[in-house]
Structure 1
Amino acid sequence: MHEDFDRCVRAVRSKDARFDGWFFTAVRTTRIYCRPSCPGMPPKAENMTFFPSAAAAQQAGFRACKRCRPDASPGSPQWNERADLAARAMRLIADGVVDRAGVPGLAARLGYSVRQVERQLLAEFGAGPLALARAQRAQTARLLIETTALPMSEVAAAAGFGSIRTFNDTVREVFALPPTELRLRAGRQVASPGVLSLRLPFREPLCPDNLFGHLAATAIPGVEEWRDGAYRRTLRLPHGTGIATLRPTADHIACQLALTDLRDLARAISRCRRLLDLDADPIAVDDLLATDPVLAPHVRRDPGRRVPRTVDGAELAIRAVLGQQVSATAARGHAARLVQDHGDLVHDPSGGLTHLFPTPAVLAGLDPDRFALPRARRDTVVALVNALAAGAVDLGVGADRDRARARLSALPGFGPGTVETIAMRALGDPDAFLPGDPQVRAAARSLGLPFTPAALTAHAAAWRPWRAYAVQYLWAVV
């Protein structure tokens, strides 16, 4: 979109928040870049230039606006919608792969050469993987500077900078202030060491009912809970563990993170955003679904439904199998026993969280008879955890959706419903569809839509590429 100059100018002049994250406005006279909805006076059109990412603007020598904080914009919805190389790379960069494994590690995860990855990202986002990772480190540094009392040397290390000098230079370059002045300007710090409070932005509207309602209804005791109006869960992160507390408000998600290692901050934020589908474009979704006269009243009544996703694709897949052909209560019971017997312990002074969900490697090492399940479902769980542990099935943030679907379908006990549930919630496919799901079929029938899987699939072709969101509206009917 950033190449459509006239459309970008119109969005900036109208301060249209729907385009935050889609592109960034740089002003050549001030050398500052902003989000489209910046409340400041719009610059003259002849002084504007547009970039597809904050990293591209920073690389071109522009500084972040202190008023609208463009580095904190919601991510582009394209990074979640699309399944191509560039989008997969962006999801992996957000999950910290470049910081942990470098650009060669990113390329290896994607199955391409370093040169191919760099060329594609430069073409799509105006910046290579190192610049994109640097922009994320700068954003992490700003959060730590403004919300903690950590010494700057510890902030630098936690944000992923190799030296205090690089940290200082980057903060000055991106925010036009040295770190100490950035902290003084913020004028606030959290009191508890290791606990961070921040705001997760999203594109409005957002309907929290189905999102948080689903997470609360399916919560595994010990791993997740609904407490005092907030969804809480444990996180397994690259350098340690974490506990996320997420509470919906009118214009943001209030997020509190308790981390054993602050180097995991960016990863924890990325996973929380993915869990709640916060980078979605609800206007685009609802505009298309509302063209169906049957869905239109439901879209108008509860606009902005999101797809409840996951913080861990492997966990979601195992839970999907445990839930096959049983009630939600029974599925939670199976998962709770698995967690109590094989999950790692965590300490939660603020609530009732006790465990991390067990890893595929741990479960793959168990005697199959330890799974208290019917034989057929036990065989499915064993095949799944073995494939996940061996790397034969990749359900991570940068996974190839088509390949993952094919490999899941080849496992025993995996029908289309289970595969599409995993595609919807673990792989983040916005077009995943469940025409055979009993609740979807019941909703379709009650609305007068075709309700056999084949007929409903044919009708739902008009809902593409947003069929996963149509499922959310259908589930709300029954």
Structure 2
Amino acid sequence: MATIILYRVHEDFDRCVRAVRSKDARFDGWFYTAVRTTRIYCRPSCPSMPPKAENMTFFPSAAAAQSAGFRACKRCRPDASPGSPEWNERADLAARAMRLIADGVVDRAGVPGLAARLGYSVRQVERQLLAEFGAGPLALARAQRAQTARLLIETTALPMSEVAAAAGFGSIRTFNDTVREVFALPPTELRLRAGRQVASPGVISLRLPFREPLCPDNLFGHLAATAVPGVEEFRDGAYRRTLRLPHGSGVATLRPTADHIACQLALTDLRDLSRAISRCRRLLDLDADPVAVDDLLAADPVLAPHVRREPGRRVPRTVDGAELAVRTVVGQQMSTAAARTHIARLVAEHGDPVADAGGGLTHLFPLPATLAALDPDRFGLPRGRRESLVALVSALAGGAIDLGVGADRERARARLAVLPGFGRWTVETIAMRALGDPDAFLACDIGVRAAARTLGLPFTPATLAAHAAAWRPWRAYAVQYLWSVNELQVNNQPA
């Protein structure tokens, strides 16, 4: 199957028409099809009869289609399609802005707050987003609020006034007008058409879509193996964890199915719904384009059998960059079991307690500021690693290092690299899982080098890094396939 990566794909009219006529789900989220005769926009895979080509126009985002006066298709629900892979893969201003908007920065701090986080002027940010996505930051945030509102309307019994407030609308009138404009139905009729029942009070159930294929064993197996007691658990086939959110805490329960991730969210404040969804999607790398990744990696004849055996491997990421960085440093030169035990002790002693009606989760992961205020001797680590951890949490607490969703990846790398005890492995692990860099590569990782040796590849860090240049820009995914070589060897050992 050929790769579909194409920058600004919505501008290639003929290719978009072919994708719509073939109902190619791989393009969902890459662009949106608007039909001028009906004033409706759809995802490319919409099951309805494709319109005539002369009636189609294409947009890079749902917000752009909405801003042009089109309303969402009731059948294919284009607002619920996976996000464009570009938003997470790219490291430029527009992509960083999109990640921050998805995390609710515009709702909390407005466009000036977004611009400040990015280090650019409001005018520069607005101009760049209009050029890239066909809509400015306010329109992009409005589209997200509309989707959040739809979820709350269809999956809860909340009064509409509470839905409006939770979705981030300033007034019930704005809420009503937006829902009617985007979905061509008033909120009450949208709820009646959904006909869903709330599974349990205070819990929101939804489906997280992804581009197929997806290898859940790789993704959920890693999360289960490294789960920190109190913060995470694997229970009844589902991964569960606590979330620290802008307005309170939450618990996410994530379970893989054949064509989506079943997600349950228990939140102390529903205003955090869109942020919680965004962080769960980021954790599971659900906006990736696995066909593009696997096509490139399978071009290497050494990797090809492993790609064919388990296509769709994702990079297990994180809901909180600072948490991942702390866990990486604590776990240096420790077994996975020892690291879990040590980090669980930190959580129990210094994390904020939470209530979990559905299982055994007890705490939020401690904030960097909390850890920075502790006597370093309380970490119980060897001197070198203790110095590394103190330097890290101090830099995170003071704002010298940003590992958030909108962080500048190269700046973060540079600032991590000068901390004491931060070698290439530590920096690249944080880049891969916290910063979401799809091209991060662990050339000095013991497991990666062992797999390279098994496969007959160069296995010294320098020679392996040189060979891995052919895997760019997907070297973080190559790491997942290399680790699978070791898993295969273990599983094939005689009992």
Q: Distance in 2 between matches of 1:191 and 1:48?
A: 39
What do the CA deviations read for 1:182-222 (whole angstroms, capped 9, x no partner)? 00000013142221000000000000011000000000001
Q: CA deviation at 1:127?
A: 0.1
1:459 corresponds to which residue?
467
Q: CA deviation at 1:138?
A: 0.0
Q: Distance in 2 between matches of 1:25 and 1:309?
A: 31
2:6 corresponds to which residue?
none
Q: Distance in 2 between matches of 1:395 and 1:295?
A: 31
Q: Is the 8 A contact 2:242 2:364 kept in 1?
A: yes
1:322 corresponds to which residue?
330
Q: Is the 8 A contact 1:26 1:32 kept in 2?
A: yes
Give the alignment partner of residue 408 of structure 2, picking from 381, 391, 400: 400
Q: Distance in 1 between matches of 2:213 and 2:82?
A: 13
- SS of the equivalent of 1:61 reads coil
Q: Distance in 2 between matches of 1:55 and 1:376?
A: 49
Q: How does 1:235-246 map to 2 (within 5 A)?
A: 235-246=243-254
1:349 corresponds to which residue?
357
What do the CA deviations read for 1:164-196 (whole angstroms, capped 9, x no partner)? 000000000000000000000000131422210
Q: Distance in 1 between matches of 2:95 and 2:48?
A: 31
Q: Distance in 2 between matches of 1:19 and 1:322?
A: 40
Identity %: 89
What is the one-letter code of the residue matched to 1:161?
Answer: F
Given the alignment of the two structures, is residue 380 of structure 1 paired with residue 375 of structure 2, yes or no? Answer: no
Q: Distance in 1 between matches of 2:427 and 2:443?
A: 12
2:224 corresponds to which residue?
216
2:20 corresponds to which residue?
12
Q: How does 1:57-76 map to 2 (within 5 A)?
A: 57-76=65-84
Given the alignment of the two structures, is residue 433 of structure 1 paired with residue 432 of structure 2, yes or no? Answer: no
Q: Distance in 1 between matches of 2:58 and 2:197?
A: 34
Given the alignment of the two structures, is residue 168 of structure 1 paired with residue 176 of structure 2, yes or no? Answer: yes
Q: CA deviation at 1:370?
A: 1.1
Q: Distance in 2 between matches of 1:195 and 1:240?
A: 15
- SS of the equivalent of 1:46 reads helix
Shifted more, 426-435 versus 330-339: the winner is: 330-339
Q: Distance in 1 between matches of 2:458 and 2:295?
A: 22
TM-score by length of 1: 1.00
1:182 corresponds to which residue?
190
Q: How does 1:404-415 map to 2 (within 5 A)?
A: 404-415=412-423
1:94 corresponds to which residue?
102
Give the alignment partner of residue 242 of structure 2, picking from 230, 234, 238: 234
- SS of the equivalent of 1:477 reads helix
Given the alignment of the two structures, is residue 296 of structure 1 paired with residue 327 of structure 2, yes or no? Answer: no
Q: CA deviation at 1:355?
A: 0.5
What do the CA deviations read for 1:313-370 (whole angstroms, capped 9, x no partner)? 0000000001111111111111101001100101111100001000001111111111
Q: Is the 8 A contact 1:417 1:434 kept in 2?
A: yes
1:202 corresponds to which residue?
210
- SS of the equivalent of 2:258 reads coil
Q: Is the 8 A contact 1:88 1:110 kept in 2?
A: yes
Q: Is the 8 A contact 1:144 1:150 kept in 2?
A: yes
**Root-mean-square deviation over aligned CA pairs:** 0.4
Q: Distance in 1 between matches of 2:354 and 2:44?
A: 42
What is the one-letter code of the residue matched to 2:174?
Answer: T
Q: Is the 8 A contact 1:104 1:114 kept in 2?
A: yes
1:249 corresponds to which residue?
257
Give the alignment partner of residue 126 of structure 1, picking from 107, 121, 134: 134
2:492 corresponds to which residue?
none
Q: Distance in 2 between matches of 1:412 and 1:225?
A: 32
Q: Distance in 2 between matches of 1:28 and 1:295?
A: 46
What is the one-letter code of the residue matched to 2:164?
Answer: A
1:260 corresponds to which residue?
268
Q: Distance in 1 between matches of 2:122 and 2:312?
A: 38
- SS of the equivalent of 1:221 reads coil
Given the alignment of the two structures, is residue 313 of structure 1 paired with residue 326 of structure 2, yes or no? Answer: no
Q: Is the 8 A contact 2:199 2:205 kept in 1?
A: no
What do the CA deviations read for 1:61-81 (whole angstroms, capped 9, x no partner)? 000000000000100000010
Q: How does 1:412-423 map to 2 (within 5 A)?
A: 412-423=420-431
Given the alignment of the two structures, is residue 278 of structure 1 paired with residue 286 of structure 2, yes or no? Answer: yes
Q: Is the 8 A contact 1:282 1:304 kept in 2?
A: yes
2:493 corresponds to which residue?
none
2:37 corresponds to which residue?
29
Q: Distance in 2 between matches of 1:435 and 1:426?
A: 18
Q: CA deviation at 1:261?
A: 0.4
What do the CA deviations read for 1:23-44 (whole angstroms, capped 9, x no partner)? 0000000000000000000000
Q: Distance in 1 between matches of 2:152 and 2:164?
A: 9
Give the alignment partner of residue 55 of structure 2, picking from 47, 58, 77: 47
Q: Distance in 2 between matches of 1:192 and 1:152?
A: 19
Given the alignment of the two structures, is residue 337 of structure 1 paired with residue 369 of structure 2, yes or no? Answer: no
Q: Distance in 1 between matches of 2:405 and 2:215?
A: 24
Q: How does 1:128-143 map to 2 (within 5 A)?
A: 128-143=136-151
Q: Distance in 2 between matches of 1:402 and 1:100?
A: 26
Q: Is the 8 A contact 1:194 1:262 kept in 2?
A: no
Q: Is the 8 A contact 1:210 1:305 kept in 2?
A: yes
What do the CA deviations read for 1:373-420 (whole angstroms, capped 9, x no partner)? 111111110000000000000000000000000000010010000000
Q: Distance in 2 between matches of 1:406 and 1:455?
A: 23
1:447 corresponds to which residue?
455
Aligned residues: 478
What is the one-letter code of the residue matched to 2:70?
Answer: F
Given the alignment of the two structures, is residue 368 of structure 1 paired with residue 368 of structure 2, yes or no? Answer: no
- SS of the equivalent of 1:308 reads coil
Given the alignment of the two structures, is residue 390 of structure 1 paired with residue 398 of structure 2, yes or no? Answer: yes
| Moved >4 Å (runs of 4+) | none
Shifted more, 186-195 versus 416-425: the winner is: 186-195
